[in-house]
Amino acid sequence: MDAHRTHLRVRYAETDQMGVVYHANYLVWMEIGRAECCRAVGVRYKELEVEEGLFLAVVEAHMRFVRPARYDEDVTVETWIEAATRRKLEFGYRLSRGGEELATGSTKHIFLDRAMKPARLPEKYLPAFQAAVTGRT
């Protein structure tokens, strides 16, 4: 699967005193992109929680900021799956405005059960995630 694209409009509340998007909001946007990417490959995150009792915990996050985003700008969050196993998922991200790169990032996640112990993804979900792995870096 190519990168999934999610479009967001920068809200005033997401900016700081300098008038640019506060850095932590990029992680929120990555979460939105990740949920939509999973949905696009046929796996709803809510289904994993409710039906399977699984949670996708962030264990590592990286972000490189290139240019600032500002209030009312349209931001595109490109999200792709870099690796998928029954124990973990890795995602890549590119955030842009009109094709101009704003930031890049990646996150690594492990599956946890309701007791917050490491768990395995049920086999029925794995093919959808693995088919979406792009090999992009």
Query: What values do phi and psi take at 48, rounded to 5?
Result: -60, -40
The dihedrals phi and psi of 96, each to the nearest 5 degrees, come to -145, 165
The 10s digit of each residue's pLDDT in 55-77 is 999 999 999 999 999 999 999 99
Mind listing the pLDDT tens digit for each residue in 5-24?
999 999 999 999 889 999 99
Q: With bands split at pLDDT 50, 70 and 90, how would you rate the model's confidence at 136?
A: low
Q: Please, what CATH class does the domain formed by 4-132 belong to?
A: alpha beta
What residue type is 35 in one-letter code? A
Question: pLDDT at residue 1 above 80?
Answer: no
Residue 94 is classified by DSSP as E
pTM of the predicted model, to two decimals?
0.93
* Residues 119-135, mean pLDDT to the nearest whole number: 92
Please give the positions annotated as active site.
16
Domain ranges (residues) in the chain: 4-132
* pLDDT of amino acid 2: 84
The sign of the CA dihedral 95, 99, 102, 103 is positive
Residue 100: beta bridge partners? 97
H/E stretch holding 50 reads helix 45-52
Neighbours of 69 (CB within 10 A): 24
